[in-house]
Amino acid sequence: MNIDGSTFLITGGTAGIGKATAQMIVDLGGKVAITGRDKKKLEKVAKEINAFPIHADVAKEEDVNKTYEQFLKEFGRLDCLVNNAGIGGGWSEITELDMEAFHKVYAVNVFGAAMMGSKAAQLFKKQNYGNIVNIASTAALKGYASGTIYSSSKFALRGMTQCWQADLRKYNVRVILVNPSEVTTAFGNPKRVERDEISNKLRSEEIAHTIVSTLKMDDRGFIPEVSVWATNPF
Protein backbone atom coordinates (compact mmCIF):
# COMPACT_ATOMS: atom_id res chain seq x y z
CA MET A 1 0.00 0.00 0.00
CA ASN A 2 0.99 3.60 -0.38
CA ILE A 3 1.45 5.01 3.13
CA ASP A 4 1.38 8.63 1.99
CA GLY A 5 -2.17 9.94 2.12
CA SER A 6 -3.67 6.73 3.54
CA THR A 7 -5.59 6.64 6.83
CA PHE A 8 -4.59 4.58 9.86
CA LEU A 9 -6.28 3.74 13.15
CA ILE A 10 -3.82 2.56 15.81
CA THR A 11 -5.12 1.31 19.14
CA GLY A 12 -2.98 1.76 22.22
CA GLY A 13 -1.03 4.48 20.47
CA THR A 14 0.19 6.56 23.40
CA ALA A 15 3.41 4.65 24.09
CA GLY A 16 5.70 1.87 22.98
CA ILE A 17 4.99 0.06 19.73
CA GLY A 18 1.78 1.98 19.04
CA LYS A 19 3.38 5.37 19.42
CA ALA A 20 6.49 4.44 17.41
CA THR A 21 4.34 3.05 14.61
CA ALA A 22 2.11 6.12 14.56
CA GLN A 23 5.14 8.42 14.42
CA MET A 24 6.73 6.45 11.58
CA ILE A 25 3.53 6.47 9.54
CA VAL A 26 2.96 10.21 10.10
CA ASP A 27 6.55 10.86 8.98
CA LEU A 28 5.75 8.97 5.75
CA GLY A 29 2.68 11.11 5.08
CA GLY A 30 0.00 8.89 6.58
CA LYS A 31 -3.05 10.27 8.39
CA VAL A 32 -3.19 8.68 11.82
CA ALA A 33 -5.59 8.41 14.74
CA ILE A 34 -4.46 6.85 18.00
CA THR A 35 -6.57 5.56 20.87
CA GLY A 36 -5.74 5.49 24.56
CA ARG A 37 -7.38 5.15 27.96
CA ASP A 38 -5.47 7.97 29.67
CA LYS A 39 -7.05 11.11 28.19
CA LYS A 40 -4.35 13.53 29.33
CA LYS A 41 -1.52 11.36 28.04
CA LEU A 42 -3.42 10.64 24.81
CA GLU A 43 -3.86 14.31 23.98
CA LYS A 44 -0.23 15.09 24.82
CA VAL A 45 1.15 12.31 22.62
CA ALA A 46 -1.25 13.03 19.75
CA LYS A 47 -0.13 16.65 19.70
CA GLU A 48 3.51 15.61 19.87
CA ILE A 49 3.34 13.24 16.89
CA ASN A 50 0.63 15.07 14.91
CA ALA A 51 -2.03 12.36 15.26
CA PHE A 52 -5.76 12.57 15.94
CA PRO A 53 -6.66 11.48 19.50
CA ILE A 54 -9.60 9.20 20.31
CA HIS A 55 -10.17 8.61 24.01
CA ALA A 56 -11.33 4.99 24.15
CA ASP A 57 -10.89 1.59 25.78
CA VAL A 58 -11.08 -1.29 23.29
CA ALA A 59 -12.45 -3.55 26.05
CA LYS A 60 -15.69 -1.52 26.06
CA GLU A 61 -18.06 -2.11 23.15
CA GLU A 62 -19.48 1.41 23.35
CA ASP A 63 -15.94 2.78 23.06
CA VAL A 64 -15.27 0.63 19.99
CA ASN A 65 -18.35 2.11 18.32
CA LYS A 66 -17.34 5.63 19.41
CA THR A 67 -13.84 5.10 18.01
CA TYR A 68 -15.12 4.37 14.52
CA GLU A 69 -17.67 7.17 14.63
CA GLN A 70 -15.01 9.73 15.54
CA PHE A 71 -12.46 8.30 13.11
CA LEU A 72 -14.80 8.37 10.12
CA LYS A 73 -16.05 11.84 11.01
CA GLU A 74 -12.44 13.07 10.97
CA PHE A 75 -11.05 11.12 8.01
CA GLY A 76 -14.03 9.78 6.05
CA ARG A 77 -12.35 6.49 5.19
CA LEU A 78 -10.22 3.81 6.86
CA ASP A 79 -7.35 2.14 5.02
CA CYS A 80 -5.61 0.31 7.85
CA LEU A 81 -6.33 -0.82 11.41
CA VAL A 82 -3.36 -1.59 13.63
CA ASN A 83 -4.72 -3.70 16.49
CA ASN A 84 -1.96 -2.85 18.94
CA ALA A 85 -3.73 -2.36 22.29
CA GLY A 86 -2.81 -5.14 24.66
CA ILE A 87 -2.10 -5.84 28.30
CA GLY A 88 -0.07 -8.36 30.24
CA GLY A 89 -0.73 -9.74 33.67
CA GLY A 90 -2.17 -12.87 35.19
CA TRP A 91 1.23 -14.56 35.25
CA SER A 92 0.81 -17.55 37.53
CA GLU A 93 1.22 -21.30 37.53
CA ILE A 94 -1.74 -23.47 36.61
CA THR A 95 -2.51 -24.17 40.26
CA GLU A 96 -3.05 -20.47 40.93
CA LEU A 97 -5.16 -19.37 37.97
CA ASP A 98 -7.68 -16.63 38.61
CA MET A 99 -10.87 -16.11 36.59
CA GLU A 100 -10.81 -12.34 37.09
CA ALA A 101 -7.30 -12.13 35.62
CA PHE A 102 -8.45 -14.17 32.63
CA HIS A 103 -11.36 -11.79 31.99
CA LYS A 104 -9.16 -8.69 32.34
CA VAL A 105 -6.53 -9.85 29.86
CA TYR A 106 -8.95 -11.42 27.37
CA ALA A 107 -11.21 -8.33 27.41
CA VAL A 108 -8.40 -6.35 25.75
CA ASN A 109 -6.17 -8.86 23.98
CA VAL A 110 -8.92 -11.01 22.49
CA PHE A 111 -12.40 -9.49 22.72
CA GLY A 112 -11.31 -5.89 22.15
CA ALA A 113 -9.11 -6.84 19.22
CA ALA A 114 -11.92 -8.92 17.75
CA MET A 115 -14.49 -6.13 17.95
CA MET A 116 -12.08 -3.57 16.50
CA GLY A 117 -11.30 -6.00 13.69
CA SER A 118 -14.98 -6.74 13.05
CA LYS A 119 -15.82 -3.06 12.63
CA ALA A 120 -12.86 -2.54 10.30
CA ALA A 121 -13.84 -5.59 8.25
CA GLN A 122 -17.34 -4.24 7.72
CA LEU A 123 -15.87 -1.10 6.20
CA PHE A 124 -13.27 -2.98 4.16
CA LYS A 125 -15.80 -5.37 2.62
CA LYS A 126 -17.86 -2.41 1.39
CA GLN A 127 -14.88 -0.63 -0.15
CA ASN A 128 -13.26 -3.90 -1.36
CA TYR A 129 -9.93 -2.93 0.16
CA GLY A 130 -8.19 -2.64 3.52
CA ASN A 131 -5.44 -3.76 5.86
CA ILE A 132 -5.46 -5.12 9.39
CA VAL A 133 -2.28 -5.59 11.41
CA ASN A 134 -2.66 -7.58 14.63
CA ILE A 135 0.14 -7.24 17.17
CA ALA A 136 0.53 -10.55 18.97
CA SER A 137 3.76 -11.86 20.52
CA THR A 138 6.24 -14.69 20.25
CA ALA A 139 4.20 -15.95 23.21
CA ALA A 140 1.61 -16.80 20.53
CA LEU A 141 4.04 -19.36 19.13
CA LYS A 142 5.12 -21.24 22.25
CA GLY A 143 3.77 -21.38 25.77
CA TYR A 144 5.96 -20.96 28.83
CA ALA A 145 5.82 -21.47 32.58
CA SER A 146 3.25 -19.23 34.32
CA GLY A 147 2.08 -17.90 30.95
CA THR A 148 -1.30 -19.60 30.70
CA ILE A 149 -3.39 -16.41 30.62
CA TYR A 150 -1.23 -14.07 28.55
CA SER A 151 0.16 -16.66 26.14
CA SER A 152 -3.25 -18.19 25.49
CA SER A 153 -4.67 -14.72 24.74
CA LYS A 154 -2.02 -14.25 22.06
CA PHE A 155 -2.60 -17.76 20.72
CA ALA A 156 -6.25 -16.72 20.38
CA LEU A 157 -5.29 -13.57 18.48
CA ARG A 158 -3.10 -15.63 16.18
CA GLY A 159 -5.97 -18.02 15.51
CA MET A 160 -8.38 -15.15 14.86
CA THR A 161 -5.90 -13.63 12.42
CA GLN A 162 -5.86 -16.82 10.38
CA CYS A 163 -9.67 -16.90 10.35
CA TRP A 164 -9.83 -13.27 9.21
CA GLN A 165 -7.36 -14.00 6.43
CA ALA A 166 -9.69 -16.72 5.18
CA ASP A 167 -12.73 -14.46 5.55
CA LEU A 168 -11.33 -11.37 3.88
CA ARG A 169 -8.83 -12.23 1.14
CA LYS A 170 -11.62 -12.32 -1.46
CA TYR A 171 -12.35 -8.68 -0.60
CA ASN A 172 -8.74 -7.59 -1.23
CA VAL A 173 -8.14 -7.21 2.51
CA ARG A 174 -4.71 -8.07 3.89
CA VAL A 175 -4.55 -9.34 7.48
CA ILE A 176 -1.05 -9.45 8.94
CA LEU A 177 0.15 -10.84 12.28
CA VAL A 178 3.28 -9.39 13.89
CA ASN A 179 4.91 -11.29 16.76
CA PRO A 180 7.38 -9.16 18.73
CA SER A 181 9.77 -10.84 21.10
CA GLU A 182 10.84 -8.97 24.24
CA VAL A 183 10.65 -5.20 23.67
CA THR A 184 11.76 -2.54 26.15
CA THR A 185 8.45 -0.71 26.54
CA ALA A 186 6.08 0.02 29.42
CA PHE A 187 4.27 -3.25 28.68
CA GLY A 188 3.46 -5.14 31.86
CA ASN A 189 4.56 -2.22 34.01
CA PRO A 190 1.64 -1.29 36.31
CA LYS A 191 2.80 2.35 36.37
CA ARG A 192 3.01 2.40 32.54
CA VAL A 193 6.52 3.88 32.66
CA GLU A 194 8.73 3.15 29.67
CA ARG A 195 11.69 0.92 30.43
CA ASP A 196 15.22 2.06 29.67
CA GLU A 197 16.59 0.98 26.32
CA ILE A 198 18.94 -2.03 26.43
CA SER A 199 21.48 -2.35 23.63
CA ASN A 200 20.81 -6.04 22.91
CA LYS A 201 17.01 -5.95 23.32
CA LEU A 202 14.39 -4.90 20.81
CA ARG A 203 13.03 -1.36 20.75
CA SER A 204 9.58 -0.24 19.67
CA GLU A 205 11.22 1.14 16.52
CA GLU A 206 12.15 -2.34 15.28
CA ILE A 207 8.53 -3.45 15.53
CA ALA A 208 7.25 -0.23 13.93
CA HIS A 209 9.69 -0.77 11.07
CA THR A 210 8.35 -4.30 10.63
CA ILE A 211 4.73 -3.12 10.56
CA VAL A 212 5.42 -0.37 8.05
CA SER A 213 7.59 -2.62 5.88
CA THR A 214 4.89 -5.28 5.59
CA LEU A 215 2.28 -2.66 4.72
CA LYS A 216 4.46 -1.04 2.05
CA MET A 217 4.45 -4.22 -0.05
CA ASP A 218 2.37 -3.82 -3.22
CA ASP A 219 -1.29 -4.64 -2.55
CA ARG A 220 -1.13 -7.73 -4.77
CA GLY A 221 0.74 -9.55 -1.98
CA PHE A 222 0.94 -9.68 1.79
CA ILE A 223 2.94 -11.31 4.59
CA PRO A 224 0.54 -13.40 6.69
CA GLU A 225 2.79 -13.55 9.75
CA VAL A 226 6.18 -12.29 10.84
CA SER A 227 8.12 -12.70 14.08
CA VAL A 228 10.82 -10.32 15.29
CA TRP A 229 13.60 -11.51 17.57
CA ALA A 230 16.54 -9.68 19.10
CA THR A 231 19.69 -10.78 17.30
CA ASN A 232 21.66 -11.62 20.43
CA PRO A 233 19.71 -11.04 23.65
CA PHE A 234 22.10 -13.05 25.81
User: What are 121-153's pLDDT values in tens digits?
Assistant: 999 999 999 999 999 999 999 999 999 999 999
Q: Give this prediction's pTM.
A: 0.95
CB 164 within 8 A of CB 132: yes
Tens of pLDDT, residues 55-75: 999 999 999 999 999 999 999
CA distance 35 to 8: 11
Structural domains of the chain in order of their starting residue, each with its CATH number: 7-228 (3.40.50.720)
In sign, the C-alpha dihedral spanning 130, 111, 45, 191 is: negative
Residue 148 CA from chain centroid, whole number: 21
Secondary structure tally for the chain: helices H, strands E: 7, 7
| Pairing relationship of beta strands 130-135 and 80-83 according to DSSP bridges | parallel
Tens of pLDDT, residues 165-180: 999 999 999 999 999 9
- pLDDT at position 22 is 98
CB 223 within 8 A of CB 217: yes
- pLDDT at position 195 is 62
- pLDDT at position 197 is 82
Of residues 19, 31, 119, 154, which has the active-site annotation? 154
Please, what's the largest Cα pairwise distance for the chain? 51
Tens of pLDDT, residues 198-216: 989 999 999 999 999 999 9
CA distance 217 to 225: 14
Burial class (CB in 10 A: 0-12, 13-18, 19+), 161: buried
Q: What is the mean pLDDT of the chain?
A: 96
What backbone phi and psi angles, to 5 degrees, belong to 46?
-60, -40
Residue 18 reports pLDDT greater than 60: yes
Mean pLDDT within 98-104:
96
Of residues 19, 73, 150, 201, which has the active-site annotation? 150
Confidence of residue 194 (pLDDT cuts 50, 70, 90): low
- pLDDT at position 36 is 98
- pLDDT at position 196 is 83
**Strand ranges (DSSP E) for the chain?**
7-10, 31-36, 52-55, 80-83, 130-135, 173-180, 225-228
Active site residue 47: no
Residue 12 reports pLDDT greater than 70: yes
Active site residue 150: yes
Strand pairing partners for 135?
178
Residue 86 reports pLDDT greater than 80: yes
What backbone phi and psi angles, to 5 degrees, belong to 29?
100, 5
